Amino acid sequence: MIKVMLVDDHDIVRTGIRLVLEKVSGISIVGECSDGREALQMVETAKPDVLLMDVNMPGMSGLEATRKICDIDPYVRIIILTIHAENPYPKQLLDAGAQGYLTKGCAAKELEEAIRKVYAGQRYVGTDIAQQMALSMLPGGKKDSPFDVLTSREMEVMMLLVRGKKAKEIGHILGLNDKTVATYKYRILEKLDLKNDVKLTHMAIRHGILDPSEVGGSE
């Protein structure tokens, strides 16, 4: 039996996935939670084989949670779920330890296939996402996201910055001191050729990393 855990801040999404997977032989739902921080706690008690992780959640993001969960239990297989095929940072999520990548609009059969494949130790990228990645590499194809130049850790800091987190808050969440957070912030702005946090927030919104409703106060 493959034990699956669901992490998504929308109840209706978790309910829909649960109803789909409850009909699949050999797969069992062992836990559900609505944010990354709760997932860190639950993964130690639920002991899932496969975790379905939303990308954009309030508080701890899917990227940050993926990294931390992989540190806690390297045997958990994580499949990232995203609304759009043209997600701006698949490379960082896969580098952080995710083994799978799917859109929430995928067919039930593909979700089942992805779960079985990552459980078996393989990687799985949804057909629509794979197509977008392939098209971006063709001459004249859509350019990669500007955020591709950032490391996984820089992405974590950036995602907290654009949500209005202060340096001390970011340091507490990521286990960094204020000076290190400031260094990361400088590198992020330099790599993206931006002047300040406001420009960074606008870029994050344009590329689908941040929903305008999530914007907090600036530092």
Q: Which residues of 67-91 are buried (b: 16+ CB within 10 A; e: fewer)?
A: bbbbeeeeebbbbbbbeebbbbbbb
Q: Which residues of 107-123 are buried (b: 16+ CB within 10 A; e: fewer)?
A: eeebbbbbbbbbbeeee
Q: Which residues fall within 8 angstroms of residue 88, CB to CB, at 6 or more apart?
A: 145, 147, 207, 208, 209
- Local confidence pLDDT in tens for the 219 residues of the chain: 999 999 999 999 999 999 999 999 999 999 999 988 899 999 999 999 999 999 877 777 788 889 889 988 889 999 998 876 555 566 677 777 899 988 888 889 999 999 999 999 998 888 766 655 554 544 444 456 788 788 878 888 888 888 888 899 888 878 889 999 999 999 999 999 999 989 998 888 877 666 666 665 444
Q: Specify the length of the chain in residues.
A: 219
Cα(117)–Cα(139) distance, integer angstroms:
32
Residue 82: the pLDDT is 83
Q: Which residues fall within 8 angstroms of residue 153, CB to CB, at 6 or more apart?
A: 174, 184
Residue 86: the pLDDT is 56
Mind listing the domains of the chain with CATH numbers? Answer: 2-136 (3.40.50.2300), 146-214 (1.10.10.10)
Residue 216: the pLDDT is 55
182 burial via Cβ count (<10 Å: 0-12, 13-18, 19+): middle
Residue 211: the pLDDT is 64
Query: In this structure, how many other beta carbons lie within 10 angstroms of the beta carbon of residue 142?
Result: 12
Cα(126)–Cα(82) distance, integer angstroms:
11
Backbone angles phi, psi at 90, to 5 degrees: -65, -35
Q: Which residues fall within 8 angstroms of residue 171, CB to CB, at 6 or more apart?
A: 177, 178, 180, 181
Residue 59: the pLDDT is 72
Residue 141: the pLDDT is 45
